Structure 1
Amino acid sequence: MTNYVYIATSLDGFIATSDGGLDWLEEIPNPEQSDYGYAKFMKSIDAIVMGRKTFDKVLTFGQWVYPKPVFVLSNSLTKLPEKVFGKAEILRGDIKKIINHLNQKGYTNLYIDGGRVIQSFLQEDLVDEMIITRVPILLGKGV
């Protein structure tokens, strides 16, 4: 079982703009069209565990971007949008019990995503590897 964090950060250490925006990731000049190892990373994981805010942000992308099952950690979300039925599932409760449950279902390499979820996993010492890609851009302020 391995829990991975994979995030991109600006040179000044932000992972999103002040309003939670991620558009800056697509605005940077990228002559080699590198994805910074993201596609290779996605092939190595079994599922994604993300928080509610990250899930809400993903829903604004227009199309579902994940080829793997997504588990949304939320104590307030009660229903998923129809467009993600069969692609995402809501989970709530103790993080360690959730991880054990996912491992028992065969999901042993998990991508942990979302600021608060990552912090919760770090507090519980449940992050095995952090992959932090530094993107050559200065945001000046942000999250």
Structure 2
Amino acid sequence: MANYVYIATSLDGFIATSDGGLDWLYELPNPEQSDYGYAEFMSCIDAIVMGRNTFEKVLTFDEWPYDKPVFILSNSLAKLPEHILDKAEIVSGDIKRLINQLNQRGYKNLYVDGGGVIQSFLQEDLIDEIIITLIPILLGNGFSLFGKLDRQLKFRHKKTEIYNKTLVKNYYTRDR
């Protein structure tokens, strides 16, 4: 049972531009059409928990990108679009209680996505592994991956992978 963050950041720690843009993620050459380990990661995941903003960004994609159940953590979202009713569910409330409920439903390994949701999970010390791919660009501003915490959370470096001599993917596990 574990909660994972799998995300890309700019060198200066941003996950999106100030207007929520992600175009900078797709500007790098990818001659081998690699998924950079995403499929392997997703094979270990039971479900995805994401925030409303991330969900709304995903809705702008040409097609729904997930074959795992998606839980949208939101206190303001009232309903889902018809075409994903069987693929996603709106959830709200206490994060620890939510994780327990999802675990009881058989979802043991959760992919936590979206800046605000990741920060909330970190605030509650509910992240077990962080996988961050550094993209060699300085955005200067935008949405930061990490926010303020009430206490330090220590992680241990597990491994590093380098793709196309450009992307640096670091794996960290919670040091408890």
Deviation at 1:33, TM superposition (A): 2.4
Deviation at 1:37, TM superposition (A): 1.4
Structure 1 segments, 4+ long, off by >3 Å, are: none
In the aligned structure 2, how far is the partner of 1:131 from the partner of 1:56?
Answer: 23
Deviation at 1:56, TM superposition (A): 0.6
Higher strand share: 2
In the aligned structure 2, how far is the partner of 1:84 from the partner of 1:118?
Answer: 23
Deviation at 1:20, TM superposition (A): 0.7
When normalised by structure 1's length, the TM-score is 0.95
**Residue pairs, 1:1-143, within 5 angstroms:** 1-143=1-143
Asked if the contact 1:5/1:129 (under 8 Å) is kept, the reply is yes
When normalised by structure 2's length, the TM-score is 0.78
Deviation at 1:57, TM superposition (A): 0.6
Aligned CA RMSD, in angstroms, stands at: 1.1
In the aligned structure 2, how far is the partner of 1:142 from the partner of 1:29?
Answer: 23
What are structure 2's unaligned runs of at least 5 residues?
A: 144-176
3-state DSSP class of the match of 1:106?
coil
In the aligned structure 2, how far is the partner of 1:61 from the partner of 1:139?
Answer: 22
Identity value in percent: 77
Larger RCO of the pair (alpha carbons < 8 Å, separation 6+): 1
